[in-house]
Amino acid sequence: MVLTIVQAGELVLRSQARALTRKEILNLQTQRLIEEMRETMREAPGVGLAAPQVGVSSQLAVIEDREEYHAKASAEQLAERGRRTVPFHVVINPKIVSNNEAGVEFFEGCLSVAGYTGIVPRYRRVAVEFLNERAEPVRVEAEGWYARILQHEIDHLNGTLYIDRMHPRTFCTLENYERLWKGASVSAAKKKFG
């Protein structure tokens, strides 16, 4: 079942989500929610979806960056972003345990701020500890676009949207991004935006 993705303005997107217990993770309701979130993310399509985005205040997100999503980007753009295929996985009660101080900026969008994008600074690399859908502990060392996805989804679980972190003058519609900025470098776009 495809779930409704709530949009900016809904309080659930601005609240700290509740951590899940092992028992809650393993129960049928959570397992069903994971499958519905997977289907919803793919239908959108998106590379990540946090439970608050479907109206559920739980520390749970699903992530998947499929190869087919890379088709519209050039090899140069994929390399610049450090973007690679990321298999489907579930992230529960995540914590960023380390990051490198070197940041990187790219245009970023969100299924809960539909139709818009802006340049957002993020850490290039992060280490994240979380539980998977079997309540097993996992630690990942992520870089590039995968690190960006993790930071974006963890922000959702803490009541933060990318618009809170973006350079405000770079906020634009997806239509204008496609028309004006898609082929431009982020530094060139930032200069033009002033």
DSSP states of 96-128: EEEE-S-EEEEEE--TTSTTEEEEEEEESEEEE
Q: How many CB atoms lie within 10 A of CB 124?
A: 16
Q: Which of 10, 129, 153, 175 is catalytic?
A: 153
Where is 88: in which H helix or E strand? strand 86-99
Residue 45 has phi, psi (to 5 degrees) of -85, 155
Residue 153 annotated as catalytic: yes
**Separation CA 43–CA 21 (nearest Å):** 29
Report the alpha-carbon angle 158-96-71, nearest 5. 85
Residue given tokens 């972003």 in the structure block: 81
**Contact at 8 Å (CB) between 127 and 99?**
yes
Contacts of 137 (CB under 8 A, 6+ apart): 129, 130, 131
Alpha-carbon gap, residue 186 to 43, rounded angstroms: 28
Active site residues: 153
